[in-house]
Structure 1
Amino acid sequence: MTRARTAERGGNARVSAVVVDDSQFMRTVIVDILEEAGIDVLETASDGETGIEAVLDADPDVVTMDLKMPGVDGLEAVDRIMAERPTPVLVLSAHAADGAELTFEAMEKGAVDFFEKPSGEVSIGLKQQQEALVSTVRSVANADVSATEAAAQHARGGTAGGASTAETTSRGTEVPDHPTLVIGSSTGGPTVVEGVLSELPIEADFRVLVVQHMPEGFTERFAKRLDDASDYTVREAADGDRIGGGDALVARGDSHLEVSGYGGGRLRVSLTDDDPVNNVRPAVDVTLRTAAERIDGPLSVAILTGMGADGADGVRAVSAVGGAVIAQDEATSAVFGMPQRAIETGAVDDVCPRDELVAGIVDATTEQQ
């Protein structure tokens, strides 16, 4: 049975966890950090099989999951947990290329989010990131795992998918020239973003900017996955990049993505290391604010699942210049924070379930003619 959505946890509200990692040292460090923050660690496990048993026995709010373990690894453990006792899973991942790929595979199997394992001296690195780790654990504990499973099923080509590209374009609508789409997402977002890019009609000729809260070292691999899944040409953004129709850029982890120029249907971007906005970098608000300032063609925004309020100020700016704003609905969002805050601004034109996002984007862009 899938656990029902819990009330949003914040502050010092109690959260329970199971910690799965084959390193006793890492387990000890993680447990110390979580328990110091008031998170109840019910059980620990050194491999996937024991981790699955711990989840079935303890029924925690959240699981932290290592991926590379002997015997039953983290990928199989996530898959079986989602089949036997669906529970929000936070992957603890190395940022190396193979670690990044395994992380995205775990999210396809139903993991909600991931947290980058520090390099170098583990205890020092992780202690320095204590506040971020605790915040992420609480965020994932609050996730609606049934929505995450639906997104994962769609990414695997299952029955939870939405309208195909052919279905979307068969409506006979004609998107205006030189449209731009900005996608903003956080917790639970990667599989949803992948679904949107895989369905977005290439005939619409969008210039696409993706701002997904994700650390440096993962966004390049994320862009490659999107490129493989989509008819659009997708790459990680570099400072000074220019794109035209049919191109997409993914904001690089730990850098804000600004629209620095626009003309002739092509836009130019800049990367900055300015202070985090809404406690994140890249921030959706930064990209949306600069897009609203500089793009004079059709501009559409999709705010997807994620914790927090990033994007809310930006959608106001986009709406003020006549752009269109779409938000993912609560039922299909793993975490309804970002879409809800955007909706509360009054700037959102349409609220769509996961399987209608692309149709909503195309329709909203068409209406800007």
Structure 2
Amino acid sequence: MKKINVLVVDDSAFMRKLIMDFLSEDPQINVVGTARNGEDGIKKLKELKPDVITMDVEMPVLNGMEALKIIMKQHPVPVVMLSSTTKEGTENTIAAIQYGAIDFIAKPSGAISLDLHKIKEDLIRKVISASKVNRKQLVELATDKYLSTTQDNNYSKIELKEASPLLKIHPNKRNDATQRIICIGTSTGGPRALQNVLTKLPANLDAGVLIVQHMPAGFTKSLAARLNTLCSISVKEASDGEVVQKGTAYIAPGGFHMRTKQIGANIVINLDQTEARNGHRPAVDVLFESVSEIKHYMKVAVIMTGMGSDGSKGLVALKNNGSVIAIAESQATSIVFGMPKAAIATKLVDEVQDVENIAKTILKYV
């Protein structure tokens, strides 16, 4: 079995040693070297040619953000960022994902986390996941002109363009439901995929959008705020008890499952901290299963890039209850094809689309 060669970049010698020791415990991983800042990391990258890099966001000389930009431009390699949970830290992490980072780990207690063991399993899992990314997509991330409009957190609302005429629904997809709801599930590579889809939906979208993006607490708020500055629809972190409005996307807060409750003609969001499902809270399966119980609504379910199979069981529940159109992201554009592949394997997916075509596909049915 070929081992995953990893380069660890962190300005703290203690953290470098801790991360190296944790990763080395897994028989699939081989730590080929460490670096003390972004500049040193780029030099070691050229020398050691690792399969994956773990990199701290906040470092002297050259910080993780600047180093990431150079890496993605010169030597695209899967990068997993390590970040603090401060407001600045979460905002920088979300921006790093847009610049090409595959995933991130939230340090439990700041820059020097003596309790890093709490996220050891998560760190190992995400490094292994990063090693399996679609390398063609990784290179395209580095040259993605779509992302070049979002530099340095200076975002402005995209001008609302007239929506293209909606395509007619195929006769066998017609139904009597007058209300519509869209639910989206995604994980690794999801923030970029969400940006691609949500920015193409018009402000007068005739449906609410419920989103589960696998992320820890604190980061979903920064993600929602960032997407809200870019989209014509409103994007927000969901709050318990609020009524779902058309033209608004609600992202489940990290650490909470998002469920729905139907009260009359309204859909109300319920958040809870019940047991994680397959290691995830929020979980796509939980959202989809909850939406499956809503009556007299036409539903569009979308599963995009991510490791694992979250969402496929929920898709079965949706399809067993009412009118549902299921869309999966294609292997060609998925950073990790796990979740869409599992959904497609259920044989319940109606359309498989590249990420840039998913918004248009949603609008066919909404």
TM over 0.5: yes
- Identify the match of residue 33 of structure 1 among 9, 22, 45: 22
Letter in 1 for 2:292: A
**Counterpart in the other structure of 2:87:** 97
State the alpha-carbon separation in 1 of the partners of residues 160 and 110 from structure 2.
45
Could you list the per-position Cα deviations for residues 139-187 of structure 1 after superposition, in whole angstroms to 9, with x for gaps in the alignment?
11111243245457223349xxxxx9858x3234479843211110000
**Aligned ranges for residues 108-123 of structure 1 at < 5 Å?**
108-119=98-109, 122=112
Moved segments of 4+, more than 6 Å: none
* Percent of residue pairs identical: 37
- Identify the match of residue 148 of structure 2 among 152, 156, 164: 156
* Residues 278 and 309, structure 1, Cα contact 8 Å, conserved in 2: no
Query: Are the structure 2 counterparts of residues 245 and 254 from structure 1 closer, same or farther at C-alpha, using a change threshold of 3 Å?
Result: same
**Counterpart in the other structure of 1:237:** 238
> How many angstroms does 1:138 deviate by?
0.6
> How many angstroms does 1:122 deviate by?
4.9
State the alpha-carbon separation in 2 of the partners of residues 148 and 311 from structure 1.
24
**Counterpart in the other structure of 1:306:** 306
* Residues 297 and 323, structure 2, Cα contact 8 Å, conserved in 1: no
Alignment partner of 1:210 is 2:202: no
* Residues 103 and 130, structure 2, Cα contact 8 Å, conserved in 1: yes
**Aligned ranges for residues 163-174 of structure 1 at < 5 Å?**
166=161, 169-173=163-167
> How many angstroms does 1:124 deviate by?
4.4
> How many angstroms does 1:13 deviate by?
6.0
Query: Are the structure 2 counterparts of residues 315 and 187 from structure 1 closer, same or farther at C-alpha, using a change threshold of 3 Å?
Result: same
Query: Are the structure 2 counterparts of residues 280 and 207 from structure 1 closer, same or farther at C-alpha, using a change threshold of 3 Å?
Result: same
**Counterpart in the other structure of 1:86:** 76
TM-score (ref. length: structure 1):
0.89
* Residues 148 and 333, structure 1, Cα contact 8 Å, conserved in 2: no
* Residues 109 and 149, structure 1, Cα contact 8 Å, conserved in 2: no
Alignment partner of 1:344 is 2:333: no
Instruction: Name structure 1 gaps, 5 residues minimum.
Output: 1-11, 159-163
Letter in 1 for 2:351: D
TM-score (ref. length: structure 2):
0.89
**Aligned ranges for residues 168-183 of structure 1 at < 5 Å?**
169-173=163-167, 177-183=178-184
Could you list the per-position Cα deviations for residues 63-113 of structure 1 after superposition, in whole angstroms to 9, with x for gaps in the alignment?
001111112111111111111111000000111110011111111211111
Alignment partner of 1:328 is 2:329: yes
Instruction: Name structure 2 gaps, 5 residues minimum.
Output: 151-158, 170-176
> How many angstroms does 1:242 deviate by?
1.0
Q: CA RMSD in A?
A: 2.1
Letter in 1 for 2:215: M
Q: What is the SS of the residue equivalent to 1:290?
A: helix
Query: Are the structure 2 counterparts of residues 288 and 180 from structure 1 closer, same or farther at C-alpha, using a change threshold of 3 Å?
Result: same
State the alpha-carbon separation in 1 of the partners of residues 202 and 264 from structure 2.
23
* Residues 155 and 194, structure 1, Cα contact 8 Å, conserved in 2: no
Query: Are the structure 2 counterparts of residues 76 and 146 from structure 1 closer, same or farther at C-alpha, using a change threshold of 3 Å?
Result: farther
Letter in 2 for 1:60: P
Letter in 1 for 2:33: E
**Counterpart in the other structure of 1:3:** none
Could you list the per-position Cα deviations for residues 238-268 of structure 1 after superposition, in whole angstroms to 9, with x for gaps in the alignment?
211112111221101011000122542x310
> How many angstroms does 1:325 deviate by?
0.7
Alignment partner of 1:76 is 2:77: no
Query: Are the structure 2 counterparts of residues 166 and 148 from structure 1 closer, same or farther at C-alpha, using a change threshold of 3 Å?
Result: farther
* Residues 262 and 294, structure 1, Cα contact 8 Å, conserved in 2: no
* Residues 11 and 35, structure 2, Cα contact 8 Å, conserved in 1: yes
State the alpha-carbon separation in 1 of the partners of residues 300 and 160 from structure 2.
18
* Residues 99 and 147, structure 2, Cα contact 8 Å, conserved in 1: no
State the alpha-carbon separation in 2 of the partners of residues 82 and 94 from structure 1.
22
State the alpha-carbon separation in 1 of the partners of residues 99 and 342 from structure 2.
28
State the alpha-carbon separation in 2 of the partners of residues 309 and 165 from structure 1.
35
Letter in 1 for 2:164: S
> How many angstroms does 1:296 deviate by?
2.4
Deviating more after overlay: 176-185 vs 86-95? 176-185
